[in-house]
Structure 1
Amino acid sequence: MKITVERSGGIAALTRTWTVQATTSSDKSHWQPIVEACPWDAVPDSRQVSDGQPDRFMYSIRAGQRRATLPERAVTGPWRVLVETTRAAAEQTPRNGTATGIRS
């Protein structure tokens, strides 16, 4: 399973991307509960996610076949756990930012 978190916007309008590849069964068993905890079915239509707050981050989250685009203020609870865990795992891997087999 490939998990990608892309954060865009902010004052500088920079985009950051963090990616984790869960390839082994151990990795998948670590990441699956984190991904499953997120309310994927409750994500608003991506055309309706603008929250009217300039200079805020937007998050594009992909986990396997699932997709979500959320404004910064909506990245709470299980979404925050997924974003922060992915970011931490990817940042532990130097150069390309893609973590393979990293558990946090």
Structure 2
Amino acid sequence: MREPAPPADGADPHGTPPEPGGVLILVVRSGGIAGIPRRWSVQPPSGEAASWVALLERCPWDDEIGPGTGGDRFVWRIEARIHEERHEQVIPEEHLLGPWRELVDAVRNASS
């Protein structure tokens, strides 16, 4: 099942409009046995943006990530806006390592 696209204006799917020139990160986990998607997002205030930008810059956004193996595995869609620059990557669970795992964990923890 494919996830609906986030709002075209870059707004947080929870209805929070993006801060002009700020940072917005959306993580969507889909798949698994039940196939129920989960969403987390963070839009840090400008005073906290630098640490999030550093985390985002460690992620290899331009790398091609291979397909996952096996059924009923999670797939992670990560979208980020840093000022006016946008990034997106889809990562099978088995490839969610290193900076990708750090980013996902940080967004999930900040959204809790």
Band the TM-score falls in, shorter-chain normalisation: 0.7 to 0.9
User: Which 4+ runs in 1 deviate beyond 4 A?
Assistant: none
Distance 1:72 1:78 in 2: 13
Summarize the alignment of residues 7-46 of structure 1 with structure 2, pairs less than 5 Å apart. 7-24=29-46, 26-44=47-65
Partner residue in 2 for 1:75: 96
Listed as ranges, the gaps of 5+ residues in structure 2 are 1-22
- Structure 1 residue 30 displacement after superposition: 1.5
2:24 corresponds to 1:2: yes
**Secondary structure of the equivalent of 1:51?**
coil
Higher relative helix content: 1
Q: Which has the higher contact order (CA 8 A, sep 6+)?
A: 1
TM-score (norm 1): 0.78
Distance 1:20 1:62 in 2: 11
Distance 1:50 1:38 in 2: 18
| Pick aligned residue for 1:59 from 76, 80, 98 | 76
Give yes or no for contact 1:43–1:69 (8 Å, CA) kept in 2.
no
Identity score, percent:
38
Listed as ranges, the gaps of 5+ residues in structure 1 are 92-104
